[in-house]
Structure 1
Amino acid sequence: MQYDTALSMVRAALVRLGCVALCAAIAMSAANAAEKRATWINPVDIDYKYDFTLEHQGVSFRTGADPAVVLHKDAYYLFMTKADGYWRSSDLVRWHFIPAIRWPFEGNVAPAAVSDGNKLYIMQSSFGPRPLLSTTNPASGTLDFEERMMEKLPDSVPAGQEDRVGKGQIPPGPWDPDLFRDDDGRWYLYWGSSNLYPIYGIEVDPSKHWSYIGKPAPLFLAHPDLHGWERFGQDHRSEQTRPYAEGSWMTKHDGHYYLQYAAPGTEYNVYANGVYVGDSPLGPFTYAPYNPISYRPGGYATGAGHGSTFQDRHGNWWNTGTTWIGNNWNFERRIVQYPAGFTADGQMYASTRFGDFPHWAATSRVSNPDDLFTGWMLLSYHKPVTASSTRAGFEAKNVTDEDPHTFWVAARNAAGETLTVDLGAVMTVRAVQVNFADYQSTLFGDNSEIWTAFNLLGSKDGKHWIALGVVPATEHRDRPNAYVPFPVAARVRYVRYDHIHAGAANLAISDMRVFGKADGKLPLTPQIVDAAHEADSRNAVIRWTAIPGAIGYNIRWGLRPDRLYQTHQVWAGSDPIVELRALTAGQSYWVAIEAFNETGVSELSRPILMR
């Protein structure tokens, strides 16, 4: 943003509100602010696009899903479902949208992307032959057709005739494709999105117009009878529907091939990424006992499935995925990213602990993903809120309930509308995330009015206000999940959203999330009272001692006491008990627990072996 322009806008807003002081943080120079280490948060703060394919049904919403992130030369490129272009970043924090020529065709869904160091290749999901695109300069937005369309899959059936599939035939595709180039220069295609058919793989030859070599190899199916996390439904509680195995992505590490996939379905909080491991690109593959690798059933941004795994320029691994909203349509979603890695003996993992709290940008090699967590805690959970106006049935209290499915709607979408969160005491505030909702937005595709602008103000007494941060009108881009870290921390009790502009028909906000630190002591360490498998060993019940003053708990579990990579976040207030339904039948697990509140995080309890 342009610092002087932003500062002048904040001053003007404060004059309008009768304020008498500007925050010292805004007075600091732009150069000093730039020296501060950058932070990011999930859902990823990009200008998600309005879905134009449902205009005939009058359903209007912003969405993004199935991210494919590729490091190409000096930058990262993000491709996703439902976008008329793609995004570029130099730091995995700030993303710039690139309108693309020739992309997408027919409304892009679940694309594949891969770089060979010279060219970046992009491929869409399809039910039949489609062109591959490539570019040596993706920053330009100009994509070239490859020499020939990828041909029809051998032994596949025409679209619309899947019910006639016989032995030895596969559904039309490739849907949810992934392109992989091995170290020896050979190329492979993986695909599949079905609750009946497996993930497939085949070798392809780019020197012969991307022709197929041999026939598709069926690689694996979902097995919810063995893998608890693959079961369908909210919290894995709908076993009547077979889960989907979809969204394949291949990663090679230390001579092993990690073929990732998503299950059970994108429209649930338990959407996750798993992996099979093999010693060759087409297997055979073995199910990893530590699955799922990326899993987040609790918190604000729930779900982590169908994404990509890549290494940044510092050598750090990342796993991306999809979080679910589903207010307007089942497939209303957003993008998430998590630090990931491999242990010395080859275990793949991703860290979703505090996965929707602020994290530091990685500026060097990071040995422990927990080191990227800023320690800035959620200060706004269930705090009282006042609004300048409210549409009946959409109360202001919805913006602090940590639920993307509830939201506040102002009586009008006009400058000057406000939301004010009372933190209950003066606290150290460092960042705010404003998550907008689409309520009868009546927008489809892009237009020049789809941009976001607002001020953030703070006060100790509710009377005298200072400027905290701004999303300026001069930025002129949409910020559906706007994240605003402050140049310096502020000591305030009240945090106010001061509206300037939102492109939709209505001003609707699902959650206004305030981060920082409260004064006081860290919560005590909870102790696990019992951790036991049920008769169905895919499930286990965990009980612990409740901690006074805690606002939530992280149940952490894994195959070893020093590898508690999985996290299930739960809010305090209910009985201190949770049922884990994501376990692999017959597998032993260790579990521990930590409490958190507005001051920070307790020590982790002693890990115990589930009996």
Structure 2
Amino acid sequence: MKNFVRTLLIIAIPLIQVSCTYSQNIKTAKSETQEVHRNPLKVSLGDPYVLSDSKSKKYYMYGTGGVKDGFGVYSSDNLVDWKNEGQVYFGNTKSSWGIDAFWAPEVYQWKDKYYMFYSAQWRENPTSELENFKIGVAVSDSPKGPFVDMSDKPLFDPGYPVIDANVYFDPSGKLYLYYSRCCYKHPVKSKIADWALKNRKFDQIEESWIYGVELKPDFSGIIGEPVMLLRPPVSMKDKQAEWESRSVTSGEVNRRWTEGSFTFKHQNTYYMMYSANHFAGENYAVGYAMSKSPLGPFVKAENNPILQKNTASGGEVTGTGHNSVVFTNNGKNMYCVYHGRTKASGKERVVFIDKMEIKPDGRLVVHGPTTDEQARP
């Protein structure tokens, strides 16, 4: 009998060990599936913007591309796994003011409605301008659309092409619209322009500048005159000049950009994130500026750029830019959502999400770009 029991133990103990090991492997695999992710996300969009919907408790991502003449949307429960919900805005219709180049949508939940701000080429173009971009607003009862234009014309016409609308809802109750004046037909004198001419790079340098203006509470127009808030550096001695001028100094294009802004407030400071360099090139990068007022003056940060290509350090990500920010855990955690390119994606823009934080001294830091495993948001 003792020998029989001993035999059973000899057989059972390894089986128990195998069973425990198997169970632990399953548990570990499940834990890894739930708790880690790797960039880029399986979403091919430019200029990604994420809405955290208070009704459905879901996240919705909008961006440039993916559909023809309009915008689509992706939904997610966790900021990592995204479902394509289809097209939510249709442009270039008989009633739309925009005809093509539908770019950079941002959607805001406001008083039980959802408002989409976006850029497009204006149908009204009597002088046949190559860049006739304006900003429009569409509304829907759902983040999944359909979104319908509030007007048959753009939100406003400042007399020059504009893109990249971003709206900030100030605690004071006022609304502010930020946008980028396009480079088109906007040559600017600077030391960088002088350098480009002297070195036979380009005859002139066109620039895009970021403006801000108060927005009407019903989104029907603007209040007052727009204020120029950010522009590329004038002097080559400016600490921002090197990274914001790479598209020029590399001979890529005769333009310097300040675009794709995103504004939020932390404690008593307004942070404005922005992108510089050619949006279709590898030097696209992100910086930020700070102010005590929503309409400035904004001062660019010493630690710019805070997000740029990582190929110099052995990585494979380039063209990082046009970001938005999503807040989780009641605003305690911040994540930077942006587009970039990898060897696998080629020229196609894909979406990344990386953790960001504000240090005790006020410095904004983005922990990216990353392509290795990291904790899920």
TM-score after normalising by structure 2: 0.70
Q: Which has the higher helix share?
A: 2
Q: In 2, Cα distance between the equivalents of 1:177 and 1:292? A: 22
1:216 deviates by: 1.4
Corresponding residue for 1:179?
Answer: 167
Which amino acid in structure 1 is aligned with residue 217 of structure 2?
P
Q: In 1, Cα distance between the equivalents of 2:344 and 2:368? A: 24
Corresponding residue for 1:99?
Answer: 86
Corresponding residue for 2:374?
Answer: 359
Q: 1:117 to 1:254 in 2, by over 3 A?
A: farther
Give yes or no for contact 2:102–2:121 (8 Å, CA) kept in 1.
no
1:34 deviates by: 6.7
1:93 deviates by: 1.0
1:44 to 34, 41, 44: 41
1:275 deviates by: 1.0
3-state SS in 1 of match to 2:243: helix
Q: In 1, Cα distance between the equivalents of 2:277 and 2:252? A: 11
**Percent of residue pairs bearing the same amino acid type:** 25
Corresponding residue for 2:60?
Answer: 77
3-state SS in 1 of match to 2:30: helix
1:291 deviates by: 1.0
Corresponding residue for 1:508?
Answer: none
Which amino acid in structure 2 is aligned with residue 178 of structure 1?
N
Q: In 1, Cα distance between the equivalents of 2:136 and 2:318? A: 35
Q: In 1, Cα distance between the equivalents of 2:253 and 2:25? A: 59
Q: 1:45 to 1:182 in 2, by over 3 A?
A: same
3-state SS in 2 of match to 1:110: strand
Corresponding residue for 1:267?
Answer: 280
Q: In 1, Cα distance between the equivalents of 2:29 and 2:252? A: 55
Q: In 2, Cα distance between the equivalents of 1:279 and 1:26? A: 55
Q: In 2, Cα distance between the equivalents of 1:237 and 1:130? A: 31
Using the TM superposition, name which of 253-262 and 224-233 deviates more: 224-233
Corresponding residue for 1:594?
Answer: none
Which amino acid in structure 2 is aligned with residue 217 of structure 1?
V
Which amino acid in structure 1 is aligned with residue 49 of structure 2?
A
Q: In 2, Cα distance between the equivalents of 1:327 and 1:26? A: 35
Q: In 2, Cα distance between the equivalents of 1:267 and 1:304? A: 10
Deviations 1:303-345 (A, max 9, x none): 321111221245211112221359999x632222211011123
2:307 to 288, 294, 301: 294
* Residue 223 in structure 1 maps to residue 229 in structure 2: no
Q: 1:25 to 1:205 in 2, by over 3 A?
A: farther
Corresponding residue for 2:355?
Answer: 339
Q: 1:43 to 1:32 in 2, by over 3 A?
A: closer
3-state SS in 2 of match to 1:289: coil
Q: 1:322 to 1:345 in 2, by over 3 A?
A: same
3-state SS in 2 of match to 1:83: coil
Q: In 2, Cα distance between the equivalents of 1:198 and 1:268? A: 19
Q: 1:81 to 1:240 in 2, by over 3 A?
A: closer
Give yes or no for contact 1:191–1:248 (8 Å, CA) kept in 2.
yes
Corresponding residue for 1:132?
Answer: 137
Gaps of at least 5 residues in structure 1 are: 1-23, 49-63, 157-170, 363-611
Which amino acid in structure 2 is aligned with residue 232 of structure 1?
R
Deviations 1:189-216 (A, max 9, x none): 1111434241111111033x52210111
Give yes or no for contact 2:283–2:308 (8 Å, CA) kept in 1.
yes
Note the 1:536-547 alignment, pairs <5 A.
none
Corresponding residue for 1:515?
Answer: none
Gaps of at least 5 residues in structure 2 are: 1-20, 93-99, 123-133, 184-205
3-state SS in 1 of match to 2:120: coil
Q: In 2, Cα distance between the equivalents of 1:323 and 1:94? A: 18
Q: In 1, Cα distance between the equivalents of 2:33 and 2:348? A: 34
* Residue 202 in structure 1 maps to residue 191 in structure 2: no
Q: 1:133 to 1:290 in 2, by over 3 A?
A: same
Deviations 1:471-509 (A, max 9, x none): xxxxxxxxxxxxxxxxxxxxxxxxxxxxxxxxxxxxxxx
Give yes or no for contact 1:40–1:361 (8 Å, CA) kept in 2.
yes
Q: In 2, Cα distance between the equivalents of 1:25 and 1:202? A: 61
Q: 1:338 to 1:35 in 2, by over 3 A?
A: closer
Note the 1:362-441 alignment, pairs <5 A.
362=377
Deviations 1:505-539 (A, max 9, x none): xxxxxxxxxxxxxxxxxxxxxxxxxxxxxxxxxxx
Which amino acid in structure 2 is aligned with residue 143 of structure 1?
F
1:324 to 327, 336, 341: 341
3-state SS in 2 of match to 1:229: helix
2:178 to 170, 175, 190: 190
Which amino acid in structure 1 is aligned with residue 229 of structure 2?
L
3-state SS in 1 of match to 2:288: strand
Deviations 1:1-40 (A, max 9, x none): xxxxxxxxxxxxxxxxxxxxxxx98998799837853322
Corresponding residue for 2:48?
Answer: 67
1:97 deviates by: 1.0
Corresponding residue for 1:212?
Answer: 222
Corresponding residue for 2:186?
Answer: none
Q: In 2, Cα distance between the equivalents of 1:109 and 1:66? A: 8
Q: How many residues align?
A: 302
Give yes or no for contact 1:318–1:339 (8 Å, CA) kept in 2.
yes
3-state SS in 1 of match to 2:316: coil
Q: In 2, Cα distance between the equivalents of 1:184 and 1:280? A: 11
1:239 deviates by: 8.2
Corresponding residue for 2:246?
Answer: 232
Give yes or no for contact 1:219–1:283 (8 Å, CA) kept in 2.
yes
Q: 1:38 to 1:288 in 2, by over 3 A?
A: same
Q: In 2, Cα distance between the equivalents of 1:178 and 1:212? A: 13
Q: 1:25 to 1:185 in 2, by over 3 A?
A: farther
Which amino acid in structure 2 is aligned with residue 272 of structure 1?
A
Give yes or no for contact 2:316–2:342 (8 Å, CA) kept in 1.
no
